[in-house]
Homo-oligomer: A and B are copies of this chain.
Amino acid sequence: MTEPPAVILLSGGLDSATALAIARDEGFRPHAISFRYGQRHQIELASAQRVASVMGVADHVVVDIDLRLFGGSALTADLVVPHHDLVEELDDGIPITYVPARNTIFLSFALAWAETLEASDIFIGVNALDYSGYPDCRPEYIEAYERMANLATRAGVEGRQQIRIHTPLIDLTKAQIIERGLALGVDYGLTYSCYDPDALGRPCATCDSCLLRSKGFAGVGIDDPALVPARL
C-alpha cells in the first residue's frame, strides 16, 4: 500500500528535521518544502537540502519569495540580531527576529502544494515552550490556520478531505525534541540553527536560536554534533 503523502516545512534547523522524522515514522511519504525568503544567510537552506537528502523524502522544493520587500525583522532587514550570554536573558515578548507573517506565508505555500498532491497532512516543527515568543508558533494560531485552510480549499469544500496541520513538537522542551529525534535516528550534525553566523558560517552561540539549541543539548547531556569542529 502506498503511504499517504504529507507536506513538511523544512528549514534546515533542528525542529523541522525532527518533524520530518516523526512524519516518516507515522507512515507518511514526506514532501519537503523550504523557502529562500531573503534570510540573512543561505546556510540553513544547504542544511535543509542535506537533511532532505539524507533522511529520504519523496521530493524537496525550494520556493523563492522575497520577504525583504516588506522588511520589519532582523532576519530580513538591515537590523541587528540580539545576542545574550545566557538563555535566561532572552527578552520577554516578541523579539526583533520575528518575521511578519512568515509561518502564515510558509503554511500557505504548503497548503497549495498539499492541494495539488491531494495530501491532507502538513507538518510544521513549531514549538511553544523553548521558543522565541513568535505569535505564529502558538497552538491557538495553528488551530485557527487549520480551520481557515479547510474553508480555503477545493477538497475541504467538496468534503473529500480535511487538512490537518500537525505540530508534533508543540508541547515539547528542546531537550525532549532532541531525544525524540535521536530515537528516530536524526543526525543533528546536519542541521543548522544560528541566526547570525560569522563569515565562515560558524554559529554565534549567543543568538536566541543558538541559546535555545544549546540549552536543549545540555538538557539531554550530550554535545551538539553540529559544533564538533570537524563538521564545520
Q: Which residues of A line the B interface, CB within 8 A?
A: 61, 63-67, 69-72, 93-94, 98-105, 108-109, 111-113, 115-116, 135-136, 138, 140-141, 144-145, 147-149, 151-154, 156-158
Contact = CB atoms under 8 A, between A and B. Distances in A.
Contact of A94 (B111, B138, B154): B154
A154 B61 contact: no
A98 B100 CA distance: 27
Given A101-B152, A101-B153, A145-B152, 14 more contacts: A63-B69, A64-B64, A69-B113, A70-B112, A70-B113, A94-B157, A100-B111, A103-B152, A104-B149, A105-B105, A105-B112, A135-B154, A136-B153, A144-B152
A145 to B, nearest CB: 5
A54 to B, nearest CB: 23
Contact of A151 (B102, B141, B157, B158): B141
Contacts of A103: 152
Nearest to A65: B65
A73 to B, nearest CB: 8
A115 B135 contact: no
A92 to B, nearest CB: 12
A156 B72 CA distance: 16
Contacts of A93: 158
A71 B109 contact: no
A111 B102 CA distance: 10
Contacts of A64: 64-66
B148 A71 contact: no
Contacts of A98: 154
Given A111-B100, A153-B100, A61 B69 contact: yes
Nearest to A103: B152
A104 B100 contact: no
Contacts of A105: 105, 108-109, 112
A94 B155 CA distance: 10
A15 B109 CA distance: 24
Contacts of A113: 69-70, 100
A149 B107 CA distance: 13
30 contacts: A63-B66, A63-B69, A64-B64, A64-B65, A64-B66, A67-B112, A70-B109, A70-B112, A70-B113, A72-B112, A72-B116, A94-B158, A100-B112, A100-B113, A101-B111, A101-B152, A101-B153, A102-B112, A103-B152, A105-B109, A108-B108, A135-B152, A135-B153, A135-B157, A136-B151, A138-B151, A141-B151, A141-B152, A144-B152, A145-B152
